[in-house]
């Protein structure tokens, strides 16, 4: 279905003020945003307008009860200088899976994709081409009903805005295994990209930072042994000749980068296992010399190598032990994965799975 999306261009672009060689992550925003309002059971008033503040009532239901979800994706430029998106339909589908869990309406996939493509086509000049940079894309939805009461909102706003970004992590990360807090449990909302999931991680992450670590390695809520994620990323381990990643059991986000890496690994004939993995197994593999690599995977960081993992032998222990991991330079599988993914996204190598979608550039001056 083709939707009628109105366009209200900015009167003054901020593009010339951006230093694309020094872009802090998530602090600089492009000129425009896509907005759609859900009222009376339908999405309406579809528009692209200048990026800027939105107004809401203090009684906005989301401010009190947290009915808010989001996605994170990126746009790049290919070798012909054309903007491209990577697996955008999967982000539309995951947004709707999150919406279903949070009792929110679907955003029709074709509406999501059309709004996304038109926005990127307008703000294509904001896509950086410096190494390890991209245009971060943030689709999100939240309830807008003005009502105090624990129930689903009757109205919603769906928006997309973009931000040029540099690398999320500029060095290998140090993890500390959780032994007090949990990110999610099966049956909860850990599989959804719900805003509250990230708010709940702020305190444990801050405590980890204060103790000299970069991120939390999340574990289960029973004995803090079964590994789930690291920070806001899925996590991978290479043990011997096998790549292991925790199975998505309802507590773990179904990462699109995770899904992509699994495809690429299997294409190469590398053995992959999606299964439960514990800290004890890591300790044993490390002692045997078979723990070859650990890395996080997600849209923002792509692949983030882990330099060390600290853990508690028992959840009540006061002191932790640390597993030092092999030198980053020796980790051929993860290095090659990151390189291959970058080259597929930017057109430097074939795209056999048809993951890359070129975006039509829109001449704003002609509007």
- Three-class secondary structure of residue 54 per DSSP: coil
Average pLDDT estimate for 158-180: 93
pLDDT of 367 above 70: no
Q: What angle do CA 107, 113, 118 make, to 5 degrees?
A: 120
Q: What is the pLDDT of residue 208?
A: 96
Q: What is the DSSP string of 117-179?
A: HHHHHHSGGG---STT-EEEEEEEEEE--B--SSS--S-EEEEEEEEEE--S-SS-EEEEE-S
Please say if the pLDDT value at position 168 is more than 90.
no
Q: Is residue 51 located within the same domain as residue 180?
A: no
Say if residue 339 is in the same domain as residue 228.
yes
Does residue 180 sit in the same domain as residue 135?
no
Strand partners, 73: 137
Do 41 and 129 lie in one domain? The reply is yes
Task: List 230's β-bridge partners, or say none.
Answer: 217, 233
Q: For 264-302, b where at least 16 C-beta lie within 10 A, e where not — what string?
A: bbeeeeeebeeeebebebbbebbeeeebbbbbbbbbbbb
pLDDT of 315 over the 80 cut: no
Do 142 and 188 belong to one domain? no
Quick check: 170 pLDDT over 90? no
The verdict on residue 1 lying in a domain is no
* Domain-embedded: residue 240: yes
Q: Are residues 207 and 320 in the same domain?
A: yes
Last residue of a domain, one of 144, 167, 190: 167
Q: Which residues pair with 327 in a beta bridge?
A: none
Closest by Cα among 219, 238, 239 to 230? 219
CA dist 166 → 131, 256, 337 (Å): 8, 20, 19
DSSP letter (8 states) at residue 301 = T
194 plus 269 within the same structural domain: yes
Predicted pLDDT at 24: 86
Q: What is the rounded average pLDDT for all residues in the chain? A: 95
Q: Select from 151, 167, 183 the last residue of a domain.
A: 167
Q: What is the mean pLDDT of residues 287-301?
A: 96
Residues 177 and 163 in one domain: no
The domain that holds 83 is classified in CATH as 3.30.470.10
Q: Are residues 261 and 207 in the same domain?
A: yes
Position 365 scores a pLDDT of 59
User: Which tens digits make up the pLDDT trace of 72-126?
Assistant: 999 999 999 999 999 999 999 999 999 999 999 999 999 999 999 999 999 999 9
- In this prediction, residues 247-274 reach a mean pLDDT of 97
Average of pLDDT values for 277-305?
96
Distance between CA atoms of residues 349 and 125, nearest Å:
23
pTM: 0.95
Q: What is the DSSP letter of 11?
A: S
Q: Is residue 361 part of a domain?
A: no
355: in domain = no
Say what percent of the chain tops pLDDT 70.
99
* Among 12-26, 52-66, 265-279, 307-321, the least confident range: 307-321
Supply the range of the domain harboring residue 139: 6-167
* pLDDT tens, position by position, 342-365: 999 999 999 999 999 999 998 775
Q: Does 95 fall in a domain?
A: yes
153-166 pLDDT, tens digit each: 999 999 999 999 98
Q: Quick one: pLDDT band at residue 169, thresholds 50, 70, 90? A: confident
How many other CB atoms are found less than 10 A from the CB of residue 116? 24
Q: Are residues 220 and 302 in the same domain?
A: yes
Assigned domain for 41 exists: yes
Which one has a higher pLDDT value, 109 or 314? 109
Contact 101, 192 (CB under 8 A): yes
pLDDT at 317 over 90: no
Q: For residue 37, which of 27, 24, 47 has the smallest C-alpha distance?
A: 47
pLDDT tens digits along 21-55: 999 889 999 999 999 999 999 999 999 999 999 99
Q: Which of 97, 132, 167 is the last residue of a domain?
A: 167
| In a shared domain, residues 243 and 284 | yes
3-state DSSP assignment of residue 292: strand
Residue 362 in domain:
no
E-assigned strand segments in the chain: 6-7, 32-39, 42-50, 68-70, 73-77, 83-86, 134-143, 156-165, 173-177, 215-219, 227-230, 234-239, 242-245, 271-274, 291-298, 302-311, 321-324, 356-358
- Domains: count for the chain: 2
Residues 163 and 179 in one domain: no
Position 124 scores a pLDDT of 97
CATH number for the domain spanning 281: value is: 3.20.10.10
Q: Where does the pLDDT of residue 311 fall: very low under 50, low under 70, confident under 90, or very high at 90 and above?
A: very high
Pairwise CA distance, residues 56 & 178, whole Å: 37
Q: Is residue 360 part of a domain?
A: no
């Amino acid at each position: 279905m083709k939707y009628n999306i109105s366009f209200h261009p900015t009167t003054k672009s901020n593009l010339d003020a951006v230093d694309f060689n020094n872009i802090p992550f998530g602090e600089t925003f492009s000129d425009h945003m896509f907005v759609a309002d859900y009222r009376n059971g339908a999405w309406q008033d579809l528009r692209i307008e200048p990026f800027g503040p939105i107004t809401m009532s203090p009684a906005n239901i989301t401010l009190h009860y947290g009915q808010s979800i989001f996605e994170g994706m990126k746009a790049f430029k290919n070798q012909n200088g054309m903007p491209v998106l990577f697996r955008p339909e999967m982000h539309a589908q995951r947004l709707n899976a999150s919406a279903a869990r949070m009792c929110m309406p679907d955003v029709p996939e074709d509406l999501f994709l059309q709004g996304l493509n038109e926005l990127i086509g307008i703000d294509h000049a904001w896509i950086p081409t410096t190494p390890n940079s991209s245009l971060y894309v943030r689709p999100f939805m939240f309830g807008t009903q003005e009502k105090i009461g624990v129930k689903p909102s009757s109205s919603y706003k769906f928006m997309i805005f973009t931000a040029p970004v540099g690398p999320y992590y500029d060095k290998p990360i140090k993890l500390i295994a959780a032994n007090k807090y949990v990110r999610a449990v099966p049956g909860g909302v850990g599989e959804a990209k719900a805003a509250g999931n990230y708010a709940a991680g702020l305190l444990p992450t801050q405590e980890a930072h204060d103790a000299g670590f970069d991120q939390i390695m999340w574990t289960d809520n029973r004995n803090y042994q079964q590994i789930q994620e690291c920070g806001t990323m899925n996590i991978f381990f290479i043990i011997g000749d096998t790549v292991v990643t925790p199975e998505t059991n309802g507590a773990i986000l179904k990462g699109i980068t995770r899904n992509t890496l699994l495809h690429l690994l299997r294409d190469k004939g590398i053995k992959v296992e999606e299964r439960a993995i514990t800290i004890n197994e890591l300790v044993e593999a490390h002692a045997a010399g078979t723990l070859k690599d650990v890395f996080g995977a997600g849209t923002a960081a792509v692949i983030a190598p882990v330099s060390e993992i600290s853990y508690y032998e028992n959840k009540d222990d006061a002191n932790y032990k640390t597993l030092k991991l092999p030198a980053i330079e020796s980790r051929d599988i993860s290095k090659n994965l990151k390189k291959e993914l970058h080259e597929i996204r930017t057109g430097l190598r074939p795209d056999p799975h048809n993951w890359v979608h070129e975006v039509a550039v829109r001449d704003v001056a002609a509007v």
